[in-house]
């Protein structure tokens, strides 16, 4: 983990209530897709955790994609290029790309989609051919489909109202797919449904968006029970292996 100052390069709206923020700073502590940063915001006691969406280590660029849901994320959306943000970076364990096999399935629900982009890049670089299933409420909420496709994934979008892609949940879009491993990030109800829909013979990893205090393992505010004992979602997670989760 590293604390550092990052300069805001751009901050643009990419879908309904969703923004993409590109930052420049020392990204050396970020080692795996699925890790997150914790952002300090003026006037707010707790930092806000946001997943690493994309990374360009050679240019020290970090991309975050976030949805405005409350005061902190609305404050982020109002920031303009040149602003300086205090970040804790390289937090969490991240996804294990070595376990993917040749045809991994990536499942992102809403703001669980951003970490799938860097994960996709890393898997493709290792020779895998990922399938990305992303789920949203409606067409105006869909984001990162082109980026995932450009990164080498076969992309299937699901929307609840059927205004884009498959009508229904990500699990409806998963029907009939064959995959060697799965990675999922999204609301807990979605993670539970993805776990139930995946064949028992296929292993996987699920990333939890737990509410957090410190974000780096010190306060025990994010502790959860697993088959291998208590774990802190911020430090031992946010990614847990399928076989260790107690639903
Ligand atoms: C590991 C991790 C990765 C995340 N990645 C992303 C991402 O890439 N894009 C994105 O849009 N959102 C992401 N979230 C959710 C994001 O952290 C919250 O939406 C955000 O903190 C809300 O802050 P707020 O001030 O706008 O909302 P408020 O509701 O006013 O926040 C109040 C408090 O609750 C916490 N909180 C609220 N909602 C959540 C939530 N869903 N998860 C965790 N803490 C929450 C806030 O951090 C804050 O401490 C992630 C959460 C975690 C834990
Ligand atoms: S949020 Fe403090 S230990 Fe996880």
CA of 1 relative to ligand 1 center, distance in Å: 19
Q: Is 221 in the pocket of ligand 2 (CB under 6 A)?
A: yes
Q: Is 67 in the pocket of ligand 1 (CB under 6 A)?
A: yes
CA of 73 relative to ligand 1 center, distance in Å: 8
In a shared domain, residues 71 and 141: no
Q: What is the dihedral of CA 69, 96, 192, 152, to 10 degrees?
A: 70
Q: Residue 239 domain-assigned? A: no
Among 3-7, 151-155, 206-210, name the one with the lowest average pLDDT.
206-210
Q: Residue 148 domain-assigned? A: yes
Q: What is the pLDDT of residues 56-112, one digit of tens each?
A: 989 999 999 999 999 999 999 999 999 999 999 999 999 999 999 999 999 999 999
Cis peptide before 219 (omega within 30 of 0): no
**Domain that includes residue 199, residue range:** 97-209
Q: What is the mean pLDDT of residues 130-145?
A: 98
Which helix (H) or strand (E) segment holds residue 20: the answer is strand 18-24
> What is the pLDDT, as a whole number, of residue 26?
97
**End of a domain among 33, 57, 91?**
91
In degrees rounded to 5, what are phi and psi of residue 152? 115, 5
> Is the full-model pTM beyond 0.95?
yes
Total domains in the fold of the chain: 2
Among all bound ligands, the one having the nearest atom to the CA of 235 is: 2
210 pLDDT band, cuts 50/70/90, is confident
In a shared domain, residues 83 and 148: no
Q: What is the pLDDT of residues 148-174, one digit of tens each?
A: 999 999 999 999 999 999 999 999 999
Among 28-32, 63-67, 108-112, 206-210, name the one with the lowest average pLDDT.
206-210
Among 21-25, 49-53, 219-223, name the one with the lowest average pLDDT.
219-223
Mean pLDDT of the residues in the chain: 97
Cβ contacts of 173 within 8 Å, gap of 6 or more: 133, 135, 156, 157, 158, 165, 166
Among all bound ligands, the one having the nearest atom to the CA of 111 is: 1
Reported as half-sphere exposure (CB side, CA atoms, 13 A), residue 30 has a value of 29
CA of 212 relative to ligand 1 center, distance in Å: 8
Q: Is 114 in the pocket of ligand 1 (CB under 6 A)?
A: yes
CATH code, domain with 75:
2.40.30.10
**End of a domain among 58, 74, 91?**
91
Residue nearest to atom 36 of ligand 1 (CA): 211
Q: Is 30 in the pocket of ligand 2 (CB under 6 A)?
A: no
Q: What percent of the chain has pLDDT over 90?
A: 96
209 pLDDT band, cuts 50/70/90, is confident
Contact indicator for 243, 203 with CB cutoff of 8 Å: yes
In a shared domain, residues 8 and 105: no
């Amino acid at each position: 983990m590293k604390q550092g100052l990052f300069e805001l390069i751009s901050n643009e709206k990419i879908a309904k209530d969703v923004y993409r923020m590109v930052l420049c700073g020392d990204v050396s502590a970020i080692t795996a897709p699925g890790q997150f940063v914790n952002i300090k915001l003026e006037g707010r006691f707790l930092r806000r955790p946001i997943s690493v969406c994309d990374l360009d280590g050679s240019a020290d660029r970090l991309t975050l994609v976030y949805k405005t849901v409350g005061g902190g994320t609305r404050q982020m959306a109002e920031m303009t290029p040149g602003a300086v943000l205090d970040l804790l970076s390289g937090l969490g364990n991240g996804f294990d790309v070595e376990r993917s096999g040749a045809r991994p399935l990536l499942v992102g629900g809403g703001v669980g989609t951003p970490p799938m982009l860097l994960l996709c890049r890393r898997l493709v670089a290792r020779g895998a051919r990922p399938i990305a299933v992303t789920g949203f409420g409606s067409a105006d909420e869909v984001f990162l489909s082109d980026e995932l496709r450009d990164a080498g994934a076969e992309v299937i979008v699901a929307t609840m109202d059927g205004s884009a892609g498959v009508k229904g949940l990500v699990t409806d879009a998963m029907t009939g797919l064959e995959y060697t491993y799965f990675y999922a990030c999204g609301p807990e109800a979605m993670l539970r449904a993805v776990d139930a829909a995946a064949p028992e013979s296929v292993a996987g990893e699920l990333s939890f968006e737990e509410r957090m205090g410190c974000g780096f393992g010190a306060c025990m505010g994010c502790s959860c029970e697993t088959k291998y004992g208590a774990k802190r979602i911020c430090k031992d997670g946010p990614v847990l292996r399928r076989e260790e989760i107690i639903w």
